[in-house]
Amino acid sequence: MTRPSAAASGMNRWQIAAVIVALAVVVAGKQYYRHASAGELGWILSPTARMVGAVSGGDFAYEAGAGWIDRGLRFAIVPACAGLHFALAAFLALALGGLGAMRTPRSAAGRLAIAAVMAYAATLVVNTTRIAIAIAMHRGTIDVGGFDHGEVHRIEGVVVYLGGLCALYAAARAVHARRERHALAR
């Protein structure tokens, strides 16, 4: 039995290349994140800490080897808080979702770049939301009803990240639909 060619499966070589690149980014990102320090994750933790501080009223300062800490809140934003797994999932979803428009090398590169920028921005917003909720739980302004705080924090993360991915998907679909309407109107 022979395998169907890329043309028979409906994918062109730029789409296949984009899938390979997207998967390589995810694998490389997971490898990088596995051993990254707070300083090495500063590109995502620093803006997250600033945004969380603005939302929560906190004052996070970088401490080498630890992360961004607000001693008054007794709360730290550490590498585990980076949201990099969310960023990688968002990037992959956006990259794969944009495959249909990747017909040339330029369109494939452009769509992958847009997916990376959108995933980064979404990660900052969603992660800020998640950490601000965690701070509210830590302060006691959100009652966890006697449940284990660690378990509630994990569940909160899953719910916020899933909601963030759903919102990102809805936004991407809306942009795509608007572009299609605009293209048909020409």
Residue 173 lies in a domain: yes
Cα torsion through 175, 105, 21, 8, rounded to 10: 90
Residue 150 lies in a domain: yes
pLDDT in tens for each of the 186 residues of the chain? Answer: 555 554 445 778 889 999 999 999 999 999 999 999 999 999 999 999 999 999 999 999 999 989 999 999 889 999 998 999 999 999 999 998 888 888 888 989 999 999 999 999 999 999 999 999 999 888 776 766 777 777 888 899 999 999 999 998 888 888 877 877 877 887
**What's the token pair of residue 119?**
């995933």
**What's the token pair of residue 154?**
């994990």
**What's the token pair of residue 116?**
């990376």
Domain with 158, as residue range(s), is 6-185
Residue 1 lies in a domain: no
Q: Are the C-beta atoms of residues 86 and 130 closer than 8 Å to each other?
A: no
**How many domains, in total, are found in the chain?**
1
